[in-house]
Chain A
Amino acid sequence: MSAFRVATPKPLEVATVIFLAVFVALLSSSAWGFVLGGAAGLGALAVHRLLQGRNLAPDWAWYLMWLGLAAGMPFIVSGEYRLAQLATMGYLAIVLLGLVALGQAGQLSVGHSAFVGIGAYAAAVAVKEWDVPFVVAGLFAVAFAALIGLLTGVAALRLHGPYLAIATLGLAIVFQPILKLEELREWTGGRTGINMFARTFVPFSDWDWLTETRWYYYLTLLLLVGLLLLSHNLLQSAMGRAFKAVRDDETAAAAIGVNVAAVKLSAFVVSAIYAAIGGMLLFLLSNRFLSADNFTLLMSIELVMVLILGGMTSLKGAFLGAFLLVFVYREGLETVARQTEQGLDTWLLLLGSLLGCFLLLGRPAVKQALARYLDFNRVLSTFGPAVLCLAGAVGIGVGFTALVRLVAEHVELTALRPTVAGAFLIVAILSVPYGLAGLIDYLGYMSWGQLKGVLLRLLRAEPREAAVAERRMPPSYVPMPSSSDERA
């Protein structure tokens, strides 16, 4: 019996296999993709169990499966567009890896569009002006971004407080006017930008199967894997522990001999370098065409958005964030908007109910009100409030659908994508502050029984009057109960 219990897949594992099957089916737009993705997941699961029985680092089964799937993707996807999408996800994951490292040091930047832009432009200018090989151009781009990161960081990072956000805001805002300067026009192309569409950066292509897009895809994959290993090692090293010490408490970190300013600065420079490498890949992937209008404050804010939604507590978050940006925010919401405009209500209902779930579940006040006025705990057992909560969520979903229908008559829905994303960002930071990665880490080690317990606790109306009352009280005003009251 115990052998069977080892073999039972955990909730997260089941979810991963389902995700793989659906994702690969989507990318290959065929039913075979579903089978292939599912088989890859189940295979990894089987190998995982095999290794687990022998005490042999079983997680590698998953890592190698992901890597193998990524390497095989060019032959699975249905077209160049999908491959380009995956490569975009790859370069975004690189940028986000840098931001996760920065987050580990407790800092948040809203200016990384500028560093992505610096990477892209510096590489392009180096190739265009000095005709150097792309590797050299890339190194130049990295060095240049590191220098700018150093200058910004020196000014803002040695201060306590919100100064990094302000300084990086300045950087993101001013990047466009700098690119458009007349004096720099021979380098940056001014308002028209840089166009090297005709040039190819493929150093060799002796085989027919290695098309240009595939070449860039594998380059992205190679850099991504390398930088992932680098980040992993960095965060495990003494430096990484110093990052976390500074994040948790600067004073305490300084007291045990951590050079706080130097640590924050190196985290910032590392993230700038990652962003520049991402930008370099962006240049290759965007048909070698760059325009100053691509690198706006909005791009930075989208990056921070998916960083938060993906989760910045672990490296997983970078991948989840990149996935969210490419496949959910860009493609998913676009599809939803299009289908809704064609008259399909299902998506709106689902989205609205999800939003309603976030709003209602886990709110002690809501659950308490339900428990108090309806006494569901007695009448309908523990599931009464849960059912009502979910009904409320669906009600919110219906209201949401009606509202959007009303709005859709006057407004193009695709333009409202950021509104939805912003709403989810706010809801997410309030209810799941560690993002998807945090959620996955939380659910990762759970068995089905534990998961059921968590869900029940979320749904049940618990008497948490004390906690609620405490929250209502101003921090320094706590009335002392008189002793006579207590005796009575």
Chain B
Amino acid sequence: MDQLAEQIITGLMSGTVYGLFALVLVLIFQSTNMLNFGQGEMATFSTYLGWALMVLVPYWPGFIVAAIVAFIIGAALQRGLIRLVEDKPPTSAFIVGLGLFLIFNSLSGAIFGPEPKSFEQPWTGSPFKLGDITIVRYNLFIFLVALVVMAVLTAFMRFTKLGIALRATAMDRAAAELMGIPTSRMLMLGWGLAAMLGAIAAMLVAPVIILHPGMMFFVLMFGFTAAVLGGLDSLPGAVVGGLVIGVLQNLVGVYLPDVVDALHLPFDIRDGNQYRDIALVVVLLLVLMFRPHGLFGKSTIERK
């Protein structure tokens, strides 16, 4: 039982990062109607910047400066590039995302080298004990930082004029424009915010999955899976989707061999950890098949 609780808690903690990244993807999808495949690579690039900064300065200043630089990169991209595809068909925006993927992926590899690097891990030490449950310190750190970021974001979206304007723009651009909201600037802010949150998520997971140019491939997929699970148009749904995925991943890693044994399936599985990522794609396909609008999305998506 304790093992189960431990796995669930660990899963929830890594799930917050996936939730954060899913939040980023949904934010962009809602406001720009674009699936940004380059988001993960942009975040990787910012993480590399953070890594380079942390050689010179301590963790927190490096972290914050990298996040701010990510904000600037995101806003500048929206200003210089994404605005040009706004009145083009959605495929164009999608292709621009793929172009960003190629650019940022190769830039990280070319500038910082393809070999894996270790990212600084703050707040290390012996794990916490909660009864029989052990919690790795860094996992708790990820959880707390992601939670704080989400709380700040929620407060910003709910209680500040700027946040409400941002949500209005994402909801209905023409109506927002009529209300006197400078929607173009709001979209710039949205892209900057998304890039910053993506960079934060990437910097949080970087010590766990080891910094290398392809490190966000999987996180991008987890983010999309979480976003689809939560419903592509729901911000809270994205977070919940991320949590579900984190927990699921851990449970599959530990219990899949036992489950296969218990069901007397004609094969057996030695190491469940290999199936952690594969299981998610199965979940993704099942969600698309049986509940395409996700857990919290508007059920306007129709099957044909």
| B is a partner of A | yes
- Among residues of A, the one whose C-beta sits closest to the C-beta of B292 is A159
In the complex, what residues of B have CB within 8 A of residue A180's CB?
274
A165 with B35, Cβ < 8 A, contacts A158-B303, A298-B105 known:
yes
In the complex, what residues of B have CB within 8 A of residue A154's CB?
289
Say yes or no for A222: interface residue by CB 8 A criterion: no
Q: Is the CB of A418 within 8 A of B106?
A: yes
In the complex, what residues of A have CB within 8 A of residue B262's CB?
none
Cα A21 to Cα B102 in complex, Å, equals 33
In the complex, what residues of A have CB within 8 A of residue B174's CB?
474-477
In the complex, what residues of A have CB within 8 A of residue B292's CB?
159, 163
- The stretch of B1-9, B92-100, B159-167, B189-197 in contact with A is B92-100
CB contacts under 8 Å to A, within B176-222, are: 177-178, 183, 214, 217-218, 220-221
Q: Is the CB of B102 within 8 A of A155?
A: no
Chain B min CB distance to A261 (Å): 4
Q: Is the CB of B284 within 8 A of A419?
A: no
In the complex, what residues of B have CB within 8 A of residue A412's CB?
110
Say yes or no for B101: interface residue by CB 8 A criterion: yes
CB contacts under 8 Å to B, within A378-427, are: 410-412, 415-419, 421-423, 425-426
- The stretch of A82-90, A171-179, A436-444 in contact with B is A171-179
Cα A254 to Cα B109 in complex, Å, equals 47
- Selected from A161, A181, A418, the residue in CB contact (under 8 A) with B301 is A161
Chain B min CB distance to A31 (Å): 37
Cα A273 to Cα B292 in complex, Å, equals 26
Chain A min CB distance to B218 (Å): 6
Say yes or no for B247: interface residue by CB 8 A criterion: no
Say yes or no for A230: interface residue by CB 8 A criterion: no
Say yes or no for A249: interface residue by CB 8 A criterion: no
Cα A151 to Cα B286 in complex, Å, equals 10
Cα A160 to Cα B300 in complex, Å, equals 10
A301 with B277, Cβ < 8 A, contacts A169-B221, A170-B224 known:
no
In the complex, what residues of A have CB within 8 A of residue B106's CB?
415-419, 422
Q: Is the CB of A183 within 8 A of B220?
A: no
Main secondary structure of the interface of B (DSSP, over half): helix
Q: Which of A152, A298, A412, A477 has the most CB of B within 10 A?
A: A298
Cα A99 to Cα B100 in complex, Å, equals 21
Say yes or no for A110: interface residue by CB 8 A criterion: yes
Cα A421 to Cα B87 in complex, Å, equals 24
Please give the number of chain A residues whose Cβ is less than 8 angstroms from any Cβ of chain B in the complex.
58
- Among residues of B, the one whose C-beta sits closest to the C-beta of A302 is B102
Q: Is the CB of B178 within 8 A of A415?
A: no
- Among residues of B, the one whose C-beta sits closest to the C-beta of A475 is B174
A160 with B99, Cβ < 8 A, contacts A170-B224, A177-B277, A430-B92 known:
no
Cα A411 to Cα B113 in complex, Å, equals 9
Cα A134 to Cα B274 in complex, Å, equals 31
Please give the number of chain B residues whose Cβ is less than 8 angstroms from any Cβ of chain A in the complex.
62
In the complex, what residues of A have CB within 8 A of residue B102's CB?
301, 305, 418-419, 421-422, 425
In the complex, what residues of A have CB within 8 A of residue B267's CB?
183
Cα A411 to Cα B107 in complex, Å, equals 10
Say yes or no for B285: interface residue by CB 8 A criterion: yes
Say yes or no for B84: interface residue by CB 8 A criterion: yes
- Among residues of B, the one whose C-beta sits closest to the C-beta of A180 is B274
Q: Is the CB of B285 within 8 A of A183?
A: no
Q: Is the CB of B35 within 8 A of A155?
A: no
Chain A min CB distance to B256 (Å): 11
In the complex, what residues of B have CB within 8 A of residue A298's CB?
105, 214
Say yes or no for B115: interface residue by CB 8 A criterion: no
Cα A296 to Cα B224 in complex, Å, equals 18
Say yes or no for A162: interface residue by CB 8 A criterion: yes
Say yes or no for B152: interface residue by CB 8 A criterion: no
Say yes or no for B263: interface residue by CB 8 A criterion: no
Cα A416 to Cα B228 in complex, Å, equals 33
Cα A418 to Cα B108 in complex, Å, equals 11
Q: Is the CB of B285 within 8 A of A170?
A: yes
Chain A min CB distance to B296 (Å): 16
In the complex, what residues of B have CB within 8 A of residue A308's CB?
95
Q: Is the CB of B289 within 8 A of A174?
A: no
Say yes or no for A366: interface residue by CB 8 A criterion: no
- Among residues of B, the one whose C-beta sits closest to the C-beta of A429 is B95
Chain B 268-284, CB-CB to A under 8 Å as 1, else 0, gives 01110011011011001
Chain B min CB distance to A404 (Å): 12
Cα A184 to Cα B77 in complex, Å, equals 43
Q: Is the CB of B96 within 8 A of A426?
A: yes
- Selected from B100, B218, B304, the residue in CB contact (under 8 A) with A173 is B218
Q: Is the CB of B103 within 8 A of A174?
A: no
Cα A178 to Cα B278 in complex, Å, equals 7
Chain B min CB distance to A384 (Å): 26
Say yes or no for A22: interface residue by CB 8 A criterion: no
A110 with B37, Cβ < 8 A, contacts A173-B217, A417-B106 known:
yes
Cα A417 to Cα B107 in complex, Å, equals 10
Cα A474 to Cα B167 in complex, Å, equals 18
In the complex, what residues of A have CB within 8 A of residue B221's CB?
169-170, 173-174
In the complex, what residues of A have CB within 8 A of residue B130's CB?
none
- Among residues of B, the one whose C-beta sits closest to the C-beta of A106 is B91
- Among residues of B, the one whose C-beta sits closest to the C-beta of A164 is B288
Chain A min CB distance to B181 (Å): 10
Say yes or no for B56: interface residue by CB 8 A criterion: no
Cα A31 to Cα B285 in complex, Å, equals 56
Say yes or no for A260: interface residue by CB 8 A criterion: yes
- Selected from A161, A430, A476, the residue in CB contact (under 8 A) with B84 is A430
A183 with B35, Cβ < 8 A, contacts A418-B106, A429-B95 known:
no
In the complex, what residues of B have CB within 8 A of residue A487's CB?
none
Q: Is the CB of B285 within 8 A of A167?
A: yes
28 A-B pairs, CB-CB below 8 angstroms? A108-B94, A159-B303, A163-B228, A163-B288, A167-B284, A167-B288, A170-B281, A170-B285, A171-B281, A173-B217, A173-B221, A182-B274, A260-B304, A301-B102, A305-B99, A415-B114, A418-B102, A422-B99, A425-B95, A425-B98, A429-B85, A430-B85, A471-B87, A474-B183, A475-B174, A476-B175, A476-B177, A476-B178
Task: Known pairs A162-B94, A170-B285, A416-B106; list 16 more (Cβ under 8 Å).
Answer: A155-B286, A162-B35, A169-B220, A169-B221, A170-B225, A173-B220, A410-B111, A416-B110, A419-B107, A422-B98, A422-B101, A423-B103, A430-B84, A474-B178, A474-B183, A476-B175
Which residues of B approach A to under 8 Å, CB–CB? 29, 35, 37, 81, 84-85, 87-88, 90-92, 94-96, 98-103, 105-107, 109-111, 114, 173-175, 177-178, 183, 214, 217-218, 220-221, 224-225, 228, 232, 267, 269-271, 274-275, 277-278, 280-281, 284-286, 288-289, 292, 301-304
The 9 closest A-B pairs by CB, nearest first: A422-B102, A418-B106, A415-B110, A426-B99, A422-B103, A476-B174, A474-B177, A170-B281, A425-B99
